[in-house]
Amino acid sequence: MPAPKNSIRRSLLVTSAIVLSTALTAPAAFAAPSPSAGSSSKPSADSSATVSADPPKTPSKKPKNSKGSKDSKGSKAAPPAKMSTVGGALLGRAGTQVNLASGVPVLPKGLSARSWIVADAESGEVLAAHNAHWKLAPASTLKMLFADTLLPKWPSSTEHEVEPSDLAGIGSGSSMVGIKEDETYTVHDLWLGVFLRSGNDAVRVLAAMNGGVENTVAEMNEHAEELQALDTVVVSPDGYDAEGQVSSAYDLTLIARSGLQKKDFREYASTVRADFPGETRKNKKGKKVRESFEIQNTNRLLSGDYDIPVYQGIAGVKNGNTTEAGATFTGVAEQDGRVLLVTVMNPEKKEGNQVYKETAKLFDWGFEAAGKVDPVGELVPPRSAAQAGARPGGAGASPGEAGGTGEGALGAADGRPVASAAAGGGAGGVGTALAVTGGVLVLLAGGAFLVNRRWPLPDLVRRRPRP
Protein backbone atom coordinates (compact mmCIF):
# COMPACT_ATOMS: atom_id res chain seq x y z
CA MET A 1 0.00 0.00 0.00
CA PRO A 2 1.46 3.33 -0.94
CA ALA A 3 2.13 5.93 1.68
CA PRO A 4 -0.16 8.97 1.75
CA LYS A 5 1.24 11.79 -0.36
CA ASN A 6 1.14 14.56 2.16
CA SER A 7 4.79 15.45 2.52
CA ILE A 8 4.24 18.90 1.06
CA ARG A 9 2.23 19.89 4.13
CA ARG A 10 4.50 18.58 6.85
CA SER A 11 6.19 21.77 7.96
CA LEU A 12 5.14 22.56 11.49
CA LEU A 13 6.27 26.04 12.36
CA VAL A 14 5.93 25.46 16.06
CA THR A 15 8.22 27.36 18.39
CA SER A 16 5.97 27.66 21.42
CA ALA A 17 2.87 26.14 22.91
CA ILE A 18 0.53 28.78 21.49
CA VAL A 19 2.07 29.69 18.15
CA LEU A 20 -0.88 28.06 16.45
CA SER A 21 -3.19 30.85 17.51
CA THR A 22 -3.03 31.96 13.90
CA ALA A 23 -5.63 29.26 13.36
CA LEU A 24 -8.16 31.94 14.18
CA THR A 25 -8.03 32.93 10.55
CA ALA A 26 -9.13 29.45 9.47
CA PRO A 27 -12.74 28.66 8.53
CA ALA A 28 -15.09 28.68 11.48
CA ALA A 29 -15.65 25.33 13.17
CA PHE A 30 -18.83 23.56 14.14
CA ALA A 31 -19.31 23.47 17.91
CA ALA A 32 -21.80 20.96 19.21
CA PRO A 33 -24.01 22.15 22.07
CA SER A 34 -23.55 18.87 23.93
CA PRO A 35 -21.71 15.58 23.51
CA SER A 36 -24.87 13.69 22.56
CA ALA A 37 -25.92 16.28 20.01
CA GLY A 38 -22.53 16.71 18.36
CA SER A 39 -23.57 15.24 15.05
CA SER A 40 -27.33 15.36 15.00
CA SER A 41 -27.57 18.18 12.47
CA LYS A 42 -25.96 18.20 9.06
CA PRO A 43 -24.75 21.47 7.54
CA SER A 44 -25.25 22.20 3.89
CA ALA A 45 -22.79 20.43 1.61
CA ASP A 46 -21.64 23.55 -0.14
CA SER A 47 -20.57 25.66 2.81
CA SER A 48 -18.41 25.43 5.91
CA ALA A 49 -20.25 25.00 9.16
CA THR A 50 -20.24 27.84 11.63
CA VAL A 51 -19.96 28.01 15.40
CA SER A 52 -23.35 26.95 16.74
CA ALA A 53 -22.77 26.97 20.47
CA ASP A 54 -21.05 29.29 22.90
CA PRO A 55 -19.01 28.14 25.88
CA PRO A 56 -21.15 27.78 29.02
CA LYS A 57 -21.65 31.06 30.84
CA THR A 58 -21.74 29.42 34.25
CA PRO A 59 -19.32 26.54 34.61
CA SER A 60 -20.51 23.84 36.97
CA LYS A 61 -18.99 23.27 40.37
CA LYS A 62 -15.49 21.86 40.28
CA PRO A 63 -15.01 18.34 41.65
CA LYS A 64 -11.83 17.41 43.42
CA ASN A 65 -10.02 15.94 40.42
CA SER A 66 -10.74 18.17 37.46
CA LYS A 67 -12.06 21.47 36.31
CA GLY A 68 -15.53 21.30 34.88
CA SER A 69 -15.65 17.51 35.23
CA LYS A 70 -18.38 15.38 36.70
CA ASP A 71 -18.45 14.12 40.25
CA SER A 72 -17.98 10.48 41.14
CA LYS A 73 -21.76 9.95 41.12
CA GLY A 74 -21.86 10.58 37.39
CA SER A 75 -23.79 13.88 37.40
CA LYS A 76 -23.47 15.98 34.30
CA ALA A 77 -21.08 18.90 34.10
CA ALA A 78 -19.91 21.32 31.46
CA PRO A 79 -16.35 22.02 30.32
CA PRO A 80 -14.70 25.20 31.56
CA ALA A 81 -15.25 28.32 29.48
CA LYS A 82 -11.51 28.80 29.05
CA MET A 83 -9.13 26.00 28.21
CA SER A 84 -5.58 25.74 26.93
CA THR A 85 -4.85 26.78 23.34
CA VAL A 86 -1.79 24.56 22.92
CA GLY A 87 -2.01 23.22 19.39
CA GLY A 88 -4.33 25.95 18.16
CA ALA A 89 -6.92 28.45 19.34
CA LEU A 90 -9.86 26.34 18.20
CA LEU A 91 -8.76 23.51 20.46
CA GLY A 92 -9.28 25.79 23.45
CA ARG A 93 -12.97 26.22 22.71
CA ALA A 94 -15.74 24.21 24.33
CA GLY A 95 -17.76 21.96 22.06
CA THR A 96 -16.94 20.16 18.84
CA GLN A 97 -14.42 21.73 16.51
CA VAL A 98 -14.34 20.51 12.91
CA ASN A 99 -14.27 22.23 9.53
CA LEU A 100 -17.28 20.74 7.78
CA ALA A 101 -17.02 21.84 4.17
CA SER A 102 -18.11 20.32 0.90
CA GLY A 103 -16.94 16.72 0.59
CA VAL A 104 -16.18 16.32 4.30
CA PRO A 105 -18.20 13.56 5.98
CA VAL A 106 -20.43 14.55 8.87
CA LEU A 107 -19.30 13.39 12.28
CA PRO A 108 -20.88 10.15 13.48
CA LYS A 109 -24.04 10.21 15.54
CA GLY A 110 -24.24 8.93 19.06
CA LEU A 111 -20.99 10.39 20.40
CA SER A 112 -21.42 10.93 24.13
CA ALA A 113 -17.84 11.31 25.38
CA ARG A 114 -17.01 14.37 27.42
CA SER A 115 -13.85 14.83 25.39
CA TRP A 116 -12.33 13.30 22.25
CA ILE A 117 -9.82 14.01 19.51
CA VAL A 118 -8.95 12.61 16.08
CA ALA A 119 -5.42 13.31 14.82
CA ASP A 120 -3.15 12.23 11.98
CA ALA A 121 -0.22 10.47 13.64
CA GLU A 122 2.08 11.34 10.73
CA SER A 123 1.49 15.03 10.15
CA GLY A 124 0.22 15.83 13.64
CA GLU A 125 -2.88 17.52 12.21
CA VAL A 126 -5.92 17.45 14.46
CA LEU A 127 -8.81 16.58 12.16
CA ALA A 128 -11.55 17.15 14.73
CA ALA A 129 -11.90 17.51 18.47
CA HIS A 130 -14.44 17.89 21.24
CA ASN A 131 -13.36 19.72 24.41
CA ALA A 132 -9.80 18.72 23.56
CA HIS A 133 -8.19 20.46 26.55
CA TRP A 134 -10.80 19.61 29.18
CA LYS A 135 -8.83 18.47 32.23
CA LEU A 136 -10.31 15.16 33.32
CA ALA A 137 -9.22 12.18 35.38
CA PRO A 138 -7.22 9.97 32.99
CA ALA A 139 -7.39 6.52 34.64
CA SER A 140 -4.88 3.99 33.27
CA THR A 141 -4.30 5.86 30.03
CA LEU A 142 -1.79 7.71 32.21
CA LYS A 143 0.31 4.55 32.05
CA MET A 144 1.31 5.68 28.54
CA LEU A 145 3.20 8.56 30.15
CA PHE A 146 4.63 6.18 32.75
CA ALA A 147 5.92 3.95 29.96
CA ASP A 148 7.22 6.77 27.78
CA THR A 149 9.12 8.13 30.78
CA LEU A 150 10.60 4.88 32.13
CA LEU A 151 11.02 2.56 29.13
CA PRO A 152 14.53 3.88 28.33
CA LYS A 153 15.71 3.09 31.86
CA TRP A 154 16.56 -0.61 31.58
CA PRO A 155 17.17 -3.32 28.97
CA SER A 156 14.19 -5.66 28.70
CA SER A 157 16.28 -8.57 30.03
CA THR A 158 17.00 -6.83 33.36
CA GLU A 159 15.83 -8.98 36.29
CA HIS A 160 14.34 -7.80 39.57
CA GLU A 161 13.36 -9.73 42.68
CA VAL A 162 10.21 -8.22 44.14
CA GLU A 163 10.37 -7.04 47.73
CA PRO A 164 7.27 -6.49 49.89
CA SER A 165 7.92 -2.73 49.90
CA ASP A 166 7.70 -2.69 46.09
CA LEU A 167 3.99 -3.45 46.27
CA ALA A 168 3.12 -1.02 49.05
CA GLY A 169 0.47 1.62 48.49
CA ILE A 170 -1.51 -0.06 45.71
CA GLY A 171 -5.03 1.33 45.69
CA SER A 172 -8.03 -0.78 46.64
CA GLY A 173 -9.68 -2.40 43.64
CA SER A 174 -6.67 -1.83 41.39
CA SER A 175 -6.20 -3.91 38.27
CA MET A 176 -3.43 -6.43 38.90
CA VAL A 177 -1.37 -8.79 36.76
CA GLY A 178 -0.50 -11.07 39.68
CA ILE A 179 3.03 -10.23 40.77
CA LYS A 180 4.23 -12.10 43.85
CA GLU A 181 6.69 -11.06 46.52
CA ASP A 182 10.13 -12.71 46.48
CA GLU A 183 9.70 -13.76 42.85
CA THR A 184 12.02 -12.57 40.09
CA TYR A 185 10.68 -10.92 36.93
CA THR A 186 12.34 -9.44 33.90
CA VAL A 187 11.62 -5.88 32.88
CA HIS A 188 10.02 -7.38 29.78
CA ASP A 189 7.59 -9.32 31.99
CA LEU A 190 6.75 -6.19 33.97
CA TRP A 191 6.01 -4.10 30.90
CA LEU A 192 3.74 -6.82 29.53
CA GLY A 193 1.89 -6.62 32.84
CA VAL A 194 1.56 -2.85 32.50
CA PHE A 195 0.34 -2.81 28.91
CA LEU A 196 -1.79 -5.95 28.71
CA ARG A 197 -3.38 -6.19 32.14
CA SER A 198 -2.91 -2.58 33.19
CA GLY A 199 -1.33 -4.01 36.31
CA ASN A 200 -0.85 -1.46 39.05
CA ASP A 201 1.36 -4.02 40.77
CA ALA A 202 3.70 -4.02 37.75
CA VAL A 203 3.74 -0.23 37.78
CA ARG A 204 4.66 -0.15 41.46
CA VAL A 205 7.54 -2.59 40.98
CA LEU A 206 8.96 -0.57 38.07
CA ALA A 207 8.52 2.62 40.08
CA ALA A 208 10.41 1.02 42.98
CA MET A 209 13.22 0.14 40.59
CA ASN A 210 13.22 3.79 39.53
CA GLY A 211 13.83 5.15 43.02
CA GLY A 212 10.27 5.06 44.29
CA VAL A 213 6.84 6.47 43.53
CA GLU A 214 7.67 10.04 44.48
CA ASN A 215 10.68 10.17 42.17
CA THR A 216 8.75 8.50 39.36
CA VAL A 217 5.85 10.96 39.65
CA ALA A 218 8.31 13.86 39.53
CA GLU A 219 9.93 12.46 36.39
CA MET A 220 6.54 11.87 34.75
CA ASN A 221 5.47 15.45 35.42
CA GLU A 222 8.77 16.70 34.06
CA HIS A 223 8.38 14.59 30.93
CA ALA A 224 4.80 15.80 30.45
CA GLU A 225 6.05 19.37 30.51
CA GLU A 226 8.75 18.51 27.97
CA LEU A 227 6.09 17.05 25.68
CA GLN A 228 4.01 20.21 26.16
CA ALA A 229 1.28 18.07 27.72
CA LEU A 230 0.49 21.00 29.98
CA ASP A 231 -2.99 19.84 31.03
CA THR A 232 -1.44 16.82 32.73
CA VAL A 233 -0.72 16.57 36.45
CA VAL A 234 0.50 13.22 37.76
CA VAL A 235 -0.12 12.22 41.36
CA SER A 236 -0.16 8.43 41.09
CA PRO A 237 2.01 6.76 38.43
CA ASP A 238 -0.57 4.07 37.66
CA GLY A 239 -3.48 6.43 36.94
CA TYR A 240 -5.40 5.40 40.06
CA ASP A 241 -7.81 8.16 41.08
CA ALA A 242 -5.96 10.78 43.13
CA GLU A 243 -6.67 14.31 44.27
CA GLY A 244 -5.66 16.78 41.55
CA GLN A 245 -4.61 14.16 38.97
CA VAL A 246 -5.77 15.22 35.51
CA SER A 247 -4.97 15.03 31.83
CA SER A 248 -6.84 15.78 28.59
CA ALA A 249 -7.64 14.12 25.29
CA TYR A 250 -5.09 16.40 23.65
CA ASP A 251 -2.35 15.53 26.12
CA LEU A 252 -3.00 11.79 26.01
CA THR A 253 -2.74 11.92 22.23
CA LEU A 254 0.57 13.81 22.46
CA ILE A 255 1.85 11.25 24.94
CA ALA A 256 0.79 8.31 22.79
CA ARG A 257 2.46 9.84 19.74
CA SER A 258 5.69 10.21 21.69
CA GLY A 259 5.55 6.68 23.05
CA LEU A 260 4.84 5.14 19.65
CA GLN A 261 8.16 6.38 18.40
CA LYS A 262 9.79 3.74 20.63
CA LYS A 263 9.94 0.25 19.15
CA ASP A 264 9.34 -1.56 22.42
CA PHE A 265 6.40 0.72 23.28
CA ARG A 266 4.82 -0.29 19.97
CA GLU A 267 5.52 -3.95 20.69
CA TYR A 268 3.97 -3.96 24.15
CA ALA A 269 0.98 -1.84 23.13
CA SER A 270 0.14 -4.15 20.23
CA THR A 271 0.59 -7.50 22.00
CA VAL A 272 -2.71 -9.35 22.15
CA ARG A 273 -1.71 -12.09 24.58
CA ALA A 274 1.41 -13.32 26.35
CA ASP A 275 2.63 -15.83 28.92
CA PHE A 276 3.34 -14.31 32.33
CA PRO A 277 5.48 -15.93 35.05
CA GLY A 278 3.52 -17.49 37.88
CA GLU A 279 4.46 -18.38 41.44
CA THR A 280 7.26 -20.82 42.24
CA ARG A 281 5.93 -24.01 43.79
CA LYS A 282 7.15 -27.47 44.64
CA ASN A 283 5.87 -30.28 42.48
CA LYS A 284 5.04 -33.79 43.68
CA LYS A 285 8.70 -34.71 43.55
CA GLY A 286 9.64 -31.77 45.75
CA LYS A 287 11.31 -29.89 42.93
CA LYS A 288 10.71 -26.17 42.61
CA VAL A 289 8.92 -25.29 39.40
CA ARG A 290 7.54 -22.07 38.06
CA GLU A 291 4.75 -22.25 35.57
CA SER A 292 3.28 -19.39 33.58
CA PHE A 293 -0.24 -18.26 32.83
CA GLU A 294 -1.70 -16.41 29.88
CA ILE A 295 -2.66 -12.77 30.04
CA GLN A 296 -4.70 -10.98 27.39
CA ASN A 297 -4.78 -7.34 26.39
CA THR A 298 -7.77 -5.50 27.84
CA ASN A 299 -7.87 -3.16 24.81
CA ARG A 300 -11.05 -4.53 23.24
CA LEU A 301 -10.41 -2.99 19.84
CA LEU A 302 -7.27 -5.14 19.77
CA SER A 303 -8.54 -8.34 21.39
CA GLY A 304 -12.26 -8.11 20.58
CA ASP A 305 -15.20 -8.84 22.87
CA TYR A 306 -18.69 -10.28 22.77
CA ASP A 307 -20.22 -7.05 21.49
CA ILE A 308 -17.34 -5.43 19.63
CA PRO A 309 -15.09 -6.79 16.86
CA VAL A 310 -11.37 -6.30 16.48
CA TYR A 311 -10.90 -3.00 14.67
CA GLN A 312 -9.18 -3.30 11.32
CA GLY A 313 -5.68 -1.86 11.52
CA ILE A 314 -5.64 -1.39 15.31
CA ALA A 315 -2.17 -1.49 16.88
CA GLY A 316 -2.63 -0.24 20.49
CA VAL A 317 -2.41 1.80 22.67
CA LYS A 318 -4.02 1.99 26.17
CA ASN A 319 -7.36 1.86 27.94
CA GLY A 320 -8.46 2.79 31.44
CA ASN A 321 -11.45 2.86 33.75
CA THR A 322 -11.88 4.26 37.26
CA THR A 323 -14.72 5.66 39.33
CA GLU A 324 -13.60 9.25 38.81
CA ALA A 325 -12.48 8.97 35.20
CA GLY A 326 -15.08 6.63 33.79
CA ALA A 327 -13.84 4.82 30.69
CA THR A 328 -10.90 6.32 28.79
CA PHE A 329 -9.01 5.12 25.74
CA THR A 330 -6.32 6.18 23.29
CA GLY A 331 -5.93 4.09 20.15
CA VAL A 332 -3.73 4.03 17.06
CA ALA A 333 -4.76 2.37 13.81
CA GLU A 334 -3.63 2.24 10.20
CA GLN A 335 -5.65 1.85 7.03
CA ASP A 336 -4.42 2.33 3.47
CA GLY A 337 -1.10 3.73 4.65
CA ARG A 338 -2.58 6.41 6.88
CA VAL A 339 -2.18 6.21 10.65
CA LEU A 340 -4.59 7.95 13.01
CA LEU A 341 -4.68 8.53 16.75
CA VAL A 342 -8.01 8.76 18.57
CA THR A 343 -8.57 9.53 22.24
CA VAL A 344 -11.98 9.24 23.92
CA MET A 345 -12.62 10.22 27.52
CA ASN A 346 -15.62 9.31 29.66
CA PRO A 347 -18.63 8.54 27.44
CA GLU A 348 -21.96 9.58 28.97
CA LYS A 349 -23.56 6.39 27.70
CA LYS A 350 -22.75 3.57 30.08
CA GLU A 351 -23.37 0.67 27.71
CA GLY A 352 -20.83 -2.13 27.53
CA ASN A 353 -17.60 -1.19 25.73
CA GLN A 354 -19.01 2.23 24.86
CA VAL A 355 -15.59 3.88 24.85
CA TYR A 356 -14.43 1.44 22.17
CA LYS A 357 -17.58 1.82 20.11
CA GLU A 358 -17.21 5.60 20.02
CA THR A 359 -13.50 5.26 19.25
CA ALA A 360 -14.29 2.96 16.32
CA LYS A 361 -16.81 5.48 14.97
CA LEU A 362 -14.23 8.25 15.17
CA PHE A 363 -11.61 6.11 13.47
CA ASP A 364 -14.06 5.37 10.66
CA TRP A 365 -14.81 9.06 10.29
CA GLY A 366 -11.14 9.99 10.44
CA PHE A 367 -10.07 7.58 7.73
CA GLU A 368 -12.89 8.81 5.51
CA ALA A 369 -12.24 12.49 6.24
CA ALA A 370 -8.43 12.45 6.08
CA GLY A 371 -7.17 14.38 3.09
CA LYS A 372 -10.51 16.17 2.75
CA VAL A 373 -10.98 18.07 6.01
CA ASP A 374 -8.96 21.13 6.98
CA PRO A 375 -7.36 20.63 10.41
CA VAL A 376 -8.51 22.57 13.45
CA GLY A 377 -5.09 22.42 15.12
CA GLU A 378 -2.10 20.18 15.46
CA LEU A 379 -0.06 18.13 17.88
CA VAL A 380 2.88 20.24 18.97
CA PRO A 381 6.44 18.88 19.20
CA PRO A 382 8.34 18.52 22.47
CA ARG A 383 9.95 21.67 23.81
CA SER A 384 13.46 20.44 23.07
CA ALA A 385 12.51 19.67 19.46
CA ALA A 386 11.02 23.12 19.00
CA GLN A 387 14.14 24.72 20.46
CA ALA A 388 16.38 22.59 18.25
CA GLY A 389 14.38 23.66 15.22
CA ALA A 390 14.80 27.29 16.19
CA ARG A 391 18.60 26.96 16.04
CA PRO A 392 20.31 27.10 12.64
CA GLY A 393 20.87 23.54 11.48
CA GLY A 394 19.44 22.20 14.72
CA ALA A 395 17.80 18.80 14.59
CA GLY A 396 17.72 16.01 17.09
CA ALA A 397 15.72 12.91 16.28
CA SER A 398 14.20 11.02 19.17
CA PRO A 399 15.34 7.44 19.63
CA GLY A 400 13.32 4.87 17.77
CA GLU A 401 13.74 2.34 20.55
CA ALA A 402 13.79 2.82 24.28
CA GLY A 403 17.30 2.69 25.59
CA GLY A 404 18.82 2.73 22.12
CA THR A 405 19.40 4.74 19.00
CA GLY A 406 16.80 5.26 16.31
CA GLU A 407 15.99 2.36 14.04
CA GLY A 408 14.48 2.17 10.60
CA ALA A 409 11.54 -0.05 9.78
CA LEU A 410 11.91 -3.76 10.28
CA GLY A 411 11.39 -5.74 7.10
CA ALA A 412 12.64 -8.44 4.82
CA ALA A 413 15.70 -7.89 2.66
CA ASP A 414 13.55 -7.44 -0.42
CA GLY A 415 11.47 -4.78 1.26
CA ARG A 416 8.41 -6.95 1.91
CA PRO A 417 6.83 -6.77 5.39
CA VAL A 418 8.00 -9.29 7.93
CA ALA A 419 5.26 -11.85 8.51
CA SER A 420 5.79 -11.90 12.25
CA ALA A 421 8.40 -11.31 14.91
CA ALA A 422 7.42 -12.75 18.24
CA ALA A 423 8.60 -10.91 21.30
CA GLY A 424 10.88 -12.66 23.75
CA GLY A 425 9.96 -13.74 27.24
CA GLY A 426 6.92 -15.76 26.17
CA ALA A 427 5.00 -12.99 24.43
CA GLY A 428 2.96 -14.32 21.54
CA GLY A 429 -0.01 -13.74 19.26
CA VAL A 430 -0.36 -11.66 16.17
CA GLY A 431 -0.18 -8.48 18.23
CA THR A 432 3.55 -8.88 18.72
CA ALA A 433 4.37 -8.92 15.02
CA LEU A 434 6.66 -5.99 14.34
CA ALA A 435 6.65 -5.28 10.63
CA VAL A 436 6.81 -2.52 8.06
CA THR A 437 3.54 -0.76 7.38
CA GLY A 438 2.83 0.83 4.05
CA GLY A 439 2.81 4.31 5.51
CA VAL A 440 5.81 6.52 6.17
CA LEU A 441 5.34 8.21 9.52
CA VAL A 442 7.00 11.16 11.08
CA LEU A 443 9.49 11.42 13.90
CA LEU A 444 9.61 14.86 15.43
CA ALA A 445 12.99 16.48 15.01
CA GLY A 446 12.49 20.23 15.10
CA GLY A 447 10.02 23.06 15.45
CA ALA A 448 10.20 24.07 11.81
CA PHE A 449 10.58 20.70 10.15
CA LEU A 450 10.14 16.95 10.60
CA VAL A 451 12.29 13.96 9.81
CA ASN A 452 10.56 11.17 7.89
CA ARG A 453 10.72 7.83 9.68
CA ARG A 454 8.87 4.55 9.63
CA TRP A 455 6.92 3.28 12.59
CA PRO A 456 6.73 -0.48 12.05
CA LEU A 457 3.21 -1.00 13.30
CA PRO A 458 2.32 -4.70 13.54
CA ASP A 459 1.65 -5.96 10.05
CA LEU A 460 -0.58 -8.88 10.95
CA VAL A 461 -2.75 -6.68 13.14
CA ARG A 462 -2.95 -4.12 10.36
CA ARG A 463 -4.01 -6.65 7.78
CA ARG A 464 -6.35 -8.66 9.95
CA PRO A 465 -9.91 -8.14 8.64
CA ARG A 466 -12.63 -7.01 10.94
CA PRO A 467 -14.77 -10.03 11.98
* Average pLDDT value for residue range 446-463: 37
Report the SS3 class of residue 320. Answer: strand
- CB under 8 Å to 329, separation ≥6 — which residues? 141, 299, 301, 318, 319, 320, 343, 344, 355, 356, 359
pLDDT of residue 325: 96
pLDDT of residue 31: 40
Q: How many CB atoms lie within 10 A of CB 97?
A: 29
Q: Where are the beta strands (DSSP E) in 131-272?
A: 159-161, 184-186
The model's pLDDT over 26-40, given as tens digits with 9 standing for 90+, comes to 333 444 333 333 333
DSSP code for 164: G
Q: 79-83, 132-136, 186-190, 406-410: which range is least confident on average? A: 406-410
Q: Does residue 276 contact residue 193 with C-beta atoms inside 8 Å?
A: yes
Residue 444 predicted with pLDDT over 70: no
Residue 156 predicted with pLDDT over 70: yes
* Average pLDDT value for residue range 94-113: 95
Burial state string for 324-356 with b = 16 or more CB within 10 A and e = fewer than 16: bbbbbbbbbbbbebbbbbbbbbbbbeeeebbbb
pLDDT of residue 97: 98
pLDDT of residue 391: 60
Judge whether 198 counts as a catalytic residue.
Answer: yes
- Percent residues over pLDDT 90 in the chain: 62
Work out the mean pLDDT of the chain and round it to a whole number. 76
Report the SS3 class of residue 435. Answer: coil
Q: Where are the beta strands (DSSP E) in 49-158?
A: 96-97, 113-120, 125-130
Residue 370 predicted with pLDDT over 80: yes
pLDDT of residue 125: 96
Q: Does residue 370 contact residue 120 with C-beta atoms inside 8 Å?
A: yes
Judge whether 140 counts as a catalytic residue.
Answer: yes
Phi, psi of 357 (to 5 degrees): -65, -40
pLDDT of residue 322: 96
Q: Which of 135, 143, 262, 318 is catalytic?
A: 143
Q: Which of 48, 115, 140, 174 is catalytic?
A: 140
**Greater pLDDT, 429 or 105:** 105
Residue 75 predicted with pLDDT over 70: no
The model's pLDDT over 223-277, given as tens digits with 9 standing for 90+, comes to 999 999 999 999 999 999 999 999 999 999 999 999 999 999 999 999 999 999 9
**Greater pLDDT, 402 or 182:** 182
pLDDT of residue 427: 42
Tell me the whole-structure pTM to 2 decimals: 0.74
Q: Which of 84, 112, 174, 198 is catalytic?
A: 198
The model's pLDDT over 292-321, given as tens digits with 9 standing for 90+, comes to 999 999 999 999 999 999 999 999 999 999
The model's pLDDT over 175-230, given as tens digits with 9 standing for 90+, comes to 999 999 999 999 999 999 999 999 999 999 999 999 999 999 999 999 999 999 99
pLDDT of residue 122: 85
